[in-house]
Amino acid sequence: MPRRWRTVPTERTLLAVVHNVTAATRLLDVLPLFAGDPRVQVVFTCPDSSAFTRGTEEYLAARGIPLEPWEDVVTEDFDWALAASYGGDLQELRAPLTVLPHGMGYNKLLEIDNRKPVFGLSEQWLMHRGEVIAEHHVLSHPEQLARLRQYCPEAADHAVIAGDSCLDRLRDARELRESYRQALGVTGEQTLVLISSTWGQLSSYGSGPDLPSRIARQLPLDEFAVVLALHPNIGQGHYPWQLEMWLRDCQRAGVIVLPEEDLWQPAAVAADVTIGDHGSVTYYSACLGTPVLLAAAPHEAVDPDSPVAALLRAAPLLTDENLADQLRTATQPPALVAAAELATSVPGQSAALLTDLGYRTLRLSPPAEPAGFTAFPLPRVQRPEPGAQWIQVRGDEVTRFSAETADAHLVVHVDGPDPRLLRRADIVLGGDGFPDPGRWIALTLAEFPGCEWAACPAGPGWLAGNRDGLVVSFTGTDLPQAVPSLLYARATLGLDFPEQLPFTAGARKHEVRLTVHYG
């Protein structure tokens, strides 16, 4: 927008260069340090050079950010340009350019002309016709500078160690851990498992797209909650609709699929254990002190001298046997702690260092009270309830699974996607708001000859009935869908139905009030 149409007489213009959605999330980490200053106008553009550019414009538009055409911005002067990736004709910009890493430092190897340069540390990315492209090449730790001197010594004089803005935000958010857990629907007794995947065929998702479903189906639903955070490039590479289709299976197993690209941060803070690969989310989890298990460890995909390579050597591999026990006993080995210490040499200082760098480049004095990083928003993503559950009842202990398991009966909700399971169900559950629950129970038992019990919400509680004509109403628990299984088990064993029935699911104790109407 030309200056003459602006209301606020800004003094400087900052150009944010957005290559893709991943780079956008990192820029939006940092830009609030300057964007609230009425002396500074921020303008966004996209060089359209990334293989994963698709979706970037929509991501920014959803946040009220329009893009200026690249062919226009390269003809204008700006006071500062800020990017979070390399690629495209950045050398054409008419502004001092600062480039941030868009993940945890620079670790990955990319194939170019049959060579494997380290992205962000090699001359293929940093130089154009013998000239260093960026005025400032931001690093988080001296180990990156040592590798930069090895791979592209000409750029070493442009290096600025300014910490890791994302890691600082993650560590600042630890006080909100319980808030994030409850926003995800996780109770205090549950173990929250974060499954993370970077993009590419060597990633945890690329090497096993069934990984989230396979993990969720082995874990008791009331002891564990599973969250999935996928790199944005996965959806862009396959189209979001296709990825959504692939992920429906794991959602049916109870996996919380994070719907937005920047929700992985609160999930990482909330997690008790992370299953991952060579991506930044896995490394950041280790930096937070979270135990890490590797579903993929492609050593050939990363610089062997990088911190992520050290993580791949240090973290234990996930195996298929006794998955729940692996998660219950996961810890951080000392070598993994040491690898995580290479994330930043100036912990907690990135906001101050980047503020100083930015205002010096803009040739402005910093505000009397400089801005800081913002807190991550609450995820507000509820865990999907599996429409089919296999439930074990041992005494007063209820254990629920989203896959077939030994000594369990099948409970299926009428909203379940597979009618074949309804026909196999021992118990059928109905939905909210049925106007005549008693009639629904009677007709459901008639329609499904293999069904022993049917139950649905009724008034302030639930109503359940069996094939022998027994009808029981119950109230007093936040896990009502498990109660018909207790009734089923007690009726099978010939036990009575007490007025107060305590039971345990996971580590959580419940008590339900029963009223037997007739039998």
Q: Which pLDDT tens digit goes with each residue over 275-284?
A: 999 999 999 9
Query: What is the structure's pLDDT at 142?
Result: 96
Burial class of residue 406, CB neighbours in 10 A (0-12, 13-18, 19+):
exposed
Q: What is the mean pLDDT of residues 414-425?
A: 89
CA-CA distance, 378 to 109, in Å (whole number)? 34
Contact 318, 326 (CB under 8 A): yes
Assess whether pLDDT exceeds 70 at residue 467: yes
Question: pLDDT tens digits, residue range 251-269?
Answer: 999 999 998 888 999 999 9
Phi (first) and psi of residue 75, to 5 degrees: -100, 0
Query: What is the structure's pLDDT at 498?
Result: 95
Assess whether pLDDT exceeds 60 at residue 312: yes
Contact 288, 376 (CB under 8 A): no
With vertex at residue 244, the alpha carbon angle to CA 241 and CA 250, rounded to the nearest 5 degrees, is 165
- The helix (run of H) or strand (run of E) holding residue 508 is strand 508-518
Query: What is the structure's pLDDT at 518?
Result: 67
Contact 135, 126 (CB under 8 A): no
Assess whether pLDDT exceeds 70 at residue 153: yes
Q: What is the mean pLDDT of residues 91-103?
A: 94
**454 pLDDT band (50/70/90 cuts)?**
very high
Question: pLDDT tens digits, residue range 40-68?
Answer: 999 999 998 888 888 899 999 999 999 99
Assess whether pLDDT exceeds 60 at residue 344: yes
Query: What is the structure's pLDDT at 124?
Result: 87
**Taking the CA of residue 500 as centre, how many other CA atoms within 13 Å lie in the half-sphere pointing to its CB?**
3
Count of C-beta atoms within a 10 Å radius of residue 380: 11
Assess whether pLDDT exceeds 70 at residue 36: yes
Q: What is the mean pLDDT of residues 189-217?
A: 96
Burial class of residue 156, CB neighbours in 10 A (0-12, 13-18, 19+):
middle
Per the prediction, the chain carries an average pLDDT of: 94
With vertex at residue 237, the alpha carbon angle to CA 65 and CA 117, rounded to the nearest 5 degrees, is 95
Query: What is the structure's pLDDT at 261?
Result: 82
Query: What is the structure's pLDDT at 282?
Result: 97
Query: What is the structure's pLDDT at 1?
Result: 64
325-334 contacts: CB < 8 A, separation 24 or more?
Answer: 326/293, 327/191, 327/193, 327/219, 327/224, 327/273, 327/293, 328/191, 330/273, 330/291, 330/292, 330/293, 331/291, 332/286, 332/289, 332/290, 332/291, 332/292
Q: Show the tokens assigned to 397.
A: 């202990």
CA-CA distance, 441 to 214, in Å (whole number)? 33
Assess whether pLDDT exceeds 60 at residue 146: yes
The DSSP string of 278-293 is: SSHHHHHHHHTT--EE
Rounded to the nearest angstrom, the gap between the alpha carbon of residue 229 and the centroid of all alpha carbons in its chain is 3
Query: What is the structure's pLDDT at 213?
Result: 97
**109 pLDDT band (50/70/90 cuts)?**
confident
Map tokens 């197993």 to a residue.
253
**116 pLDDT band (50/70/90 cuts)?**
low
Q: What is the mean pLDDT of residues 196-217?
A: 96
Domains and CATH numbers, the chain: 3-166+346-362 (3.40.50.2000), 170-342 (3.40.50.2000), 388-518 (no CATH)
What global pTM score does this model have?
Answer: 0.94
Instruction: Tell me which amino acid residue 41 is.
Output: Q
